[in-house]
Structure 1
Amino acid sequence: MNADTELRAFAARLRGERSSGFELKEQERVAIIALVLGGRSYRNVAAIFGCSLGAVASTVRRYNKDHTFKVAPRKGRPKKVSGDTYVNLVHIPGSTILTLE
């Protein structure tokens, strides 16, 4: 087995059940950074991992900026009530409001 074949097999094991278009796993991001730092081109790394060139570029950009492999938390949907109002609603005696906390 040559080195490229072994890398593709390794990437396939890391990828597992991830479909194209889904977020890269942390282990994949670590391996992507290692290959890029080892001199591989973005295009070659993208082909090995079955992801887009942009995914490799944004992974490297994020690593260079924050020196981390983790993805920043997403903002999510805005709350409908403020924190103080929520606390007041939850602590009304005899209230039937259910919390999902």
Structure 2
Amino acid sequence: MVKVKELTIETRSAIMTLIKEGYSQREIATKLKISKGAVHRTIRRYSSTGGFKDKPRSGRPRVTTKTEDLHIITISKRSRKKTAPEIRTEINDIREEPLSVSTIQRRLRHAGLFGRVAVRKSLLRPQNKIKRLGQYP
């Protein structure tokens, strides 16, 4: 099945406005440059529901709740060096059903928290330490 580009709320409201003004479905389709079927489906949905909202979609339910997602994020932000497996063990102590590491990683990535490896920096030489402290010879 082909994925169809959905109509925006503005386009849907324009369709209903033109219908109320007396335009035919074919005229509306050519005026808005969309298919006649899209116009027909929009009119049918509006007459059955009274609004322009999309239908609820099916899909796999999320394993975590929003509060659990926030808890995962706060754990990561409080101790920045914790890895996803460490956060998982901490979360799984609380939960009945265990979470996977990939779920924890997904929640952190969605929050904008990405794992990074710190850059190795060379140690300061003794003369640079003296310069930094402001104790010139």
TM-score when normalising by structure 2: 0.45
The runs of 5 or more residues in structure 1 that have no matched partner are: 1-20
Partner of 1:22: 5
The runs of 5 or more residues in structure 2 that have no matched partner are: 69-87, 94-98, 108-137
- Structure number with greater CO (CA < 8 Å, separation at least 6) is 1
Output the CA distance in 1 between the equivalents of 2:28 and 2:44.
Answer: 15
Name which of 12, 15, 31 aligns with 1:48: 31
Q: Which runs of 4+ in 1 moved over 3 A?
A: none
Partner of 1:17: none
Q: Name the Cα RMSD after superposition.
A: 2.9
Aligned length: 74
Deviation per CA, 1:55-81, whole angstroms, max 9, x where unpaired?
0000000000000012123213x35x9
Percent identity over the alignment is 31
Output the CA distance in 1 between the equivalents of 2:23 and 2:54.
Answer: 23
Question: Are the structure 2 counterparts of residues 96 and 72 from structure 1 closer, same or farther at C-alpha, using a change threshold of 3 Å?
Answer: closer
TM-score when normalising by structure 1: 0.59
